[in-house]
Chain A
């Protein structure tokens, strides 16, 4: 086996700093892109599920829920965007837990790479998944009668804000995935935590229709701020809606940006630190 001979030292280029960080991040992102292509679950979740949600919500509830001054389809789209994005960010949680379970994190941790590289690749993967979902949802929404009534730029800003929120949330989930260590638990937790988080918001009904304690929760729920931002930027705010009384609803874009910043400031360092300490239990 002469082909696995010892190295010439020069064969190993040892770049440093920023270029390493970039190539490491790209190598792990590429891995996650290949997985999106190959894993049927991800593809279904990314493309079919958003279509299903748009169709279900618009046709099932349209006749029942009456939002004054606007069609329910127009009202609901921002909510479906937000919900899909938040759920799309849970892939990082289950993927990190899975990598930890089958030893891949051990492999990565013994390579000469920065601790952030694998996490960057993973959260980038979620960003791509969410971007695909956004495109699918926008097209489906347009087909069923949803319109952006503001400008192209405001529309794009709305899309960017949704994706940014999802990206930040991916870091939260990545941290949880490494802490919980079980892909199954993470998937179940996504149901138990994220369904209330998205339903106890203004995503599907105006918050003021909720009973009192839930209404307060919904008003300060970051998902509500995100949904309200999207509605404003897409021009889907019902004209008859009363002036909101709480600041996250009065300044939803600022509130959403603060939420995104907080998630990143707290969970990027936490996740990187965690990554440097976890190892497969065997």
Chain B
């Protein structure tokens, strides 16, 4: 029966019409391609064939540097952008062709807090509630509830204009979960926040996760992905280049690492040679030439013999020890370049080469 007629007397219920194929994940993308056309230049592929599948009730982080395609991917899933190729589904519902059925079950918090500066925190939330079609009283009650839960009570009756970045993000996130969505999309939820607000945001997200919400978040902070996500998809240049839990990704780099910091950079060459002998992977030098790392299989023994050899050679060291690889190591290994978590990352992506992050 054509949808038009069905809609006349029976509005689609949320679960009706949803495909429940066993092998289909809750959030699924297959071969997503999105090109941006730049004047007088070949089109930029923000997504160059992205495949993703996320199980219900889990947290997935899309980890990558600026311009990797993270925001574009979120915009496709949240019905804001139509991909040039490929399909994306949420709960089996095609987000492109049946966006109307997807929107009621998703919550979105974009990269920049989408709140009206001239409205108070309460007014912003109440408006979102009314637009989710909560009855007036129910909407007000829920708005108050969220303001309390997000510790915004003292700011609820002031225009958002005077709020700190962290408070804006919290209002925005409160709007995103207003209708208790089945899936929550968070695009760089802590970018631009000070460390204290960031930890506060993490706690809120962890609270949501413990209640079973499926969360899809993007981040350029490796620590954030490690802390919040069940599984991480590493994205670079519009492609998912690795996938797995934080531990699985770390294992790809090698179990443990020896890290040495020398007093005199002139000793680096000698140390590298020693590390190469005892390590299981190619040794690496830091930018300042003083910290040297190598992946090892039998950690303690390798460290012991390395130190003995260096002592005998009279190399003085600031620091010597073993550590588990961080996601930074993973990123470097996978992409050949470091993740950009420095000041450059705070620029809007469109001002950077390769439009469309």
Q: What is the interface of chain A, defined by CB distance below 8 A to chain B?
A: 1, 3-7, 9, 11-16, 20, 23-24, 26-28, 30-31, 34-35, 38-39, 102-104, 106-113, 117, 279-282
Contacts and interface: CB of A to CB of B under 8 A. Distances in A.
Interface in B200-248: 204, 207-208, 211-213
B159 to A, nearest CB: 6
Nearest to A20: B133
B106 interface: yes
A281 to B, nearest CB: 5
Contact of A106 (B110, B116, B130): B110
Nearest to A39: B118
Nearest to A107: B114
A34 B112 CA distance: 22
Given A103-B111, A104-B116, A281-B350, A4 B130 contact: no
Given A13-B135, A20-B133, A112 B103 contact: yes
7 contacts: A5-B211, A11-B180, A16-B11, A27-B131, A39-B118, A104-B114, A107-B172
Nearest to A38: B118
Given A27-B130, A28-B127, A110 B159 contact: no
Given A23-B133, A117-B131, 6 more contacts: A11-B180, A27-B130, A34-B123, A102-B112, A110-B106, A282-B71
Nearest to B356: A281
A282 B104 contact: no
Q: Which of B108, B110, B111, B117 has the most CB of A within 10 A?
A: B110
Across the A-B interface, give the 3 residue pairs with the lowest CB-CB distance, nearest first.
A7-B180, A107-B114, A27-B130
B230 to A, nearest CB: 18
A34 B115 CA distance: 14
B179 A1 contact: no
A4 to B, nearest CB: 5
B148 interface: yes
Given A4-B207, A27-B127, A282-B348, A110 B177 contact: no
Contacts, number: 125
A14 B134 CA distance: 8
B100 A112 contact: yes
Q: Of A24, A26, A279, which is in contact with the most chain B CB atoms at under 10 Å from its CB?
A: A279
Given A27-B127, A103-B110, A110 B78 contact: yes
A109 B133 contact: no
Nearest to B138: A11
B132 A12 contact: yes
A38 B111 CA distance: 26
Interface string B122-140: 0100011011111100100
A5 B177 CA distance: 10
Nearest to A35: B118
Nearest to B10: A16
A34 B123 CA distance: 9
A107 B212 contact: no
Interface in B1-52: 7, 11, 14
Contact of A31 (B71, B127, B213, B348): B127
Given A34-B123, A109-B79, A3 B116 contact: no
B276 interface: no
B175 interface: yes
